[in-house]
Amino acid sequence: MQSLAFPLSLPVFVGYILAGNPSVFFDVLAYVPLTAPLAMPVLVGLGAVAWWQVAVSAVISIVCTVAVAKAAADGSARCSLAGTDIRAALDDQRKAWW
């Protein structure tokens, strides 16, 4: 698990390092779901963003969270179906998505 923690936390570290000098890269980090919780409050504190930019960042984070949760649930369901008819189970999964 620790080998996965560093790559996932690296954007947060980069955002923290760049927090003292807001730039275009820092503005982009404010919309990336992994770094938005760190970058957007800094920009709000500096008065560098409008209210709608905060809302857009929050919506992007929520949508990405739901998408990752749904993908993880589907992957988990596929792994747990090893003892059943895989083709029928995958067809059921496909129908559930659409």
Question: How many Å apart are CA 86 and CA 81, to the nearest integer?
Answer: 7
- pLDDT given at position 63: 95
DSSP state, 18? Answer: G
Domain that holds residue 37: 2-97
Query: How many domains does the chain contain in total?
Result: 1
- pLDDT given at position 19: 62
What is the full per-residue pLDDT of the chain (98 aa) written as tens digits? 567 777 777 776 776 676 666 678 778 888 988 888 878 888 888 888 999 999 999 999 999 999 988 888 877 766 665 555 566 666 766 776 65
